[in-house]
Chain A
């Protein structure tokens, strides 16, 4: 069980009852239940699939910051850490992109995944810097790879590729950039002198370094 030292308590929306025992490990189903209770008018959809191994929930982009603030501040859930943010390109399915948010609750030892569907025509998502400052570089990386802009980000520039790079490399319609290695069999115009093997003599190597 994780016990953060004093000083990591964020302002809580719901305070714990005094004298309550340490709760058991939080389950993702409980998190989804609390989310649905709190945001009953927001369309929250669970990602179904036989091999979807982490509990994943789709949230619309407009409500993302609200949902995340609740997840962070609620005392029972206490998702204090955003592990990472990533993008996925589902070309040719529409909406084309998805942005994945992996949350981690240290005190309750629970992981939870949020996903936001992003259409190709308007690839914009509100930034989560205000909720978890760690989102800064993750969002820059997602922008760098996919071209998804995060509204409200103070420094929306490329982070891993050169500033002047044009294009979004991790999109499915961007090429890998594989360069054909030139051997003699695929560059027939290049003439290579055939080695003269009739008078082979081993080269005498003399190390004269000392």
Chain B
């Protein structure tokens, strides 16, 4: 009879007890052993970084920053067909102070650029920016005096999504890519630890 090890997705201290072991082999230690077993099954070892990243990735709250046509596709992912609530992101915050993702959806005109930068500055860390659509990524169809040729001239961008407008599935793909990026990122040290380390 094969020893079937129960494969856990999380590393657990010790393995599950051998079901083929003869009953009664645990005598007075059986209570203690079962207690240890219970405790072991409820524990998981991971790193703070992974926990924090997992929490951040699955609860991204976007800032409602729809500018033009891409905003309508952004509204469509809130709709019932492409449900962004599955990804934990259906609460589009009105205030930048409560948001951690800024989806720049639409063309950024020269008049809007300082407003965009101010909103980005008002968002607390950690924050990410998705540049949705061709106009936000590179100026798109409009290469003239009125449109900023790419929002990365103003704010640092994490994910670029091409399309005019990108289908809601493409936007969801972009958000999932961002989730991957967040899961792979290092958690930043706080200001005191940073100073101790000698960094900025």
Contacts from A to B (Cβ < 8 Å): 161-162, 165, 169, 174-179, 181, 205, 207-210
Contacts and interface: CB of A to CB of B under 8 A. Distances in A.
B176 A177 contact: no
A177 B110 CA distance: 12
A162 B183 CA distance: 41
A169 B145 contact: yes
A179 B145 CA distance: 9
Contact of A178 (B87, B144, B180): B144
A124 B22 CA distance: 104
A190 to B, nearest CB: 17
Contacts of A207: 176, 180
Contact of B183 (A169, A178, A179, A208): A208
18 contacts: A161-B146, A162-B111, A169-B145, A175-B145, A177-B144, A177-B146, A178-B143, A178-B144, A179-B139, A179-B143, A179-B149, A181-B138, A205-B180, A208-B54, A208-B183, A209-B57, A209-B183, A210-B58
Nearest to A178: B143
B145 A209 contact: no
A145 to B, nearest CB: 11
A177 B143 CA distance: 7
A94 to B, nearest CB: 26
Contacts of B131: none
Nearest to A174: B145
Interface string B136-148: 0011000111100
Contacts of B110: 161-162, 165
B180 A208 contact: yes
Main secondary structure of the interface of A (DSSP, over half): loop
A169 B144 CA distance: 10
Interface string B20-57: 00000000000000000000000000000000001001
Contacts of A162: 110-111
Contacts of B176: 207, 209
A162 B146 CA distance: 10
A157 to B, nearest CB: 13
Contacts of B179: 209
Contacts of B183: 208-209
Contact of B58 (A178, A181, A209): A209
Contacts of A210: 58
Contacts of B54: 208
A112 to B, nearest CB: 33
Nearest to A165: B110
6 cross-chain pairs, A with B, having the tightest CB-CB distances, nearest first: A177-B145, A162-B111, A177-B144, A209-B179, A176-B144, A178-B143
B57 A161 contact: no
Name the residue in B87, B145, B146, B179 with the highest tally of chain A Cβ atoms < 10 Å from its Cβ: B145
Nearest to B149: A179
Interface in B97-147: 110-111, 138-139, 143-146
A174 B146 CA distance: 13
B124 to A, nearest CB: 23
A161 B144 contact: no
A169 B109 CA distance: 14
Contacts of B87: 209
